[in-house]
Amino acid sequence: MCCIGIVFHYWKTKFTTLHRKGGSTMKARRDADVSEAVGPLRALVIRHCASLGERVGALSALVSGLFDAADREGQIAESRALAHQIVGASGSIGFDELSAMAATLEVKLAELQAPCGTTSPALLEHVSILGGELERLAAATKPEHSRLYNADLESAATAVRGQKKAIAS
């Protein structure tokens, strides 16, 4: 039997067995799948919080050093890239406030980096203040603050199944 035939036979047998045992077995498996997803999701949120202080601290140090930086353009580019990473990582796992604050900082850094951008002391001071606020917010951030940490995965799974059925029909 070829590889595809073996895989097909395995899944056909598994589906038939589940179908014969009734809906309760299928629901139990679905509940187990949801439970299995919660652990890794929480671990991801916890890992993000653990590394967040270091990344935000590095960003804050870069931003506060902009006043007397010899390579200001390079430092602005590095700060902006780090802010962008924080925006994406924090936003994707449910730290919306942190992501929004980092996005604001990224926009202000882009203004400093623009070809016609000004490096006025007022704008540099504003960027420095935003960096400090981001650092304070990150220090207070706990895994429980993520909207995904205690997410109702069963409701999400039900919604996804409903969307798949709607697409299929």
Which residues span the domain enclosing 60? 41-143
pLDDT in tens, 19-54: 444 555 555 455 455 556 677 888 889 999 999 999
Tokens of 109: 């850094």
CATH number at residue 70: 1.20.120.160
Residue 79 lies in a domain: yes
155 in a structural domain: no
For residue 135, what pLDDT is reported?
Answer: 94
Structural Rg of the chain based on CA atoms: 24
In a domain, 10, yes or no: no
Greater pLDDT, 114 or 135: 135
CA 100/CA 82 separation, integer angstroms: 14
Residue 133 domain flag: yes
Structurally, the chain folds into a number of domains equal to 1
pLDDT at 120: 79
Q: What is the pLDDT of residue 7?
A: 42
What is the C-alpha to C-alpha distance for residues 74 and 70, in angstroms, rounded to an integer? 9
In a domain, 89, yes or no: yes
Does residue 136 fall inside a structural domain? yes
Is 96 within a domain? yes
Q: What is the mean pLDDT of residues 3-19?
A: 48
- Is residue 16 assigned to a domain? no
Contact 127, 112 (CB under 8 A): yes
